[in-house]
Amino acid sequence: MKEMNVAIIGSKFMGKAHSNAWKNVANFFDVPIKPVMKVACATDKDALKAFADNWGWEEIETDWKKVIEREDIDIVDICAPPNLHAPIAIAAAKAGKHIFCEKPISLTSDEALEMYEAAKKAGVV
């Protein structure tokens, strides 16, 4: 089974919910990949360390732009505040990363369209 490295950006409530999903997805669905919980990203380093240790993320990073630049990341899961969804998703798409994004997808329909166009152009999901 192909492994895909996941980065999660955001460690509050939805970050916890998505972490639980990544840990347990194979218990509920037949998935064609094995997600590897590679790196968790948030701005509060101490809280992030505790979050990563609790949920099983291998590494931590406080700068989402550095996460996006990493060659070893295949999937970016965006659980940051909604005002950051569009810039993170667009950067992730441009970097060739597949994207999971918590709702609301963006703050405006124009941002949502930009996100869609960036993913379509990059050929990512």
Alpha helices in 1-125 (DSSP H): 13-28, 45-55, 64-69, 85-94, 109-122
CATH of the domain at 69: 3.40.50.720
pTM for the complete prediction? 0.96
Expressed as residue numbers, the domain containing 75 is: 2-122
How confident is the model at residue 66, as a pLDDT? 99
How many separate domains does the chain show? Answer: 1
How confident is the prediction along the chain (125 residues), in pLDDT tens digits per residue? 899 999 999 999 999 999 999 999 999 999 999 999 999 999 999 999 999 999 999 999 999 999 999 999 999 999 999 999 999 999 999 999 999 999 999 999 999 999 999 999 999 99
Q: Which token pair is 43?
A: 């701005």
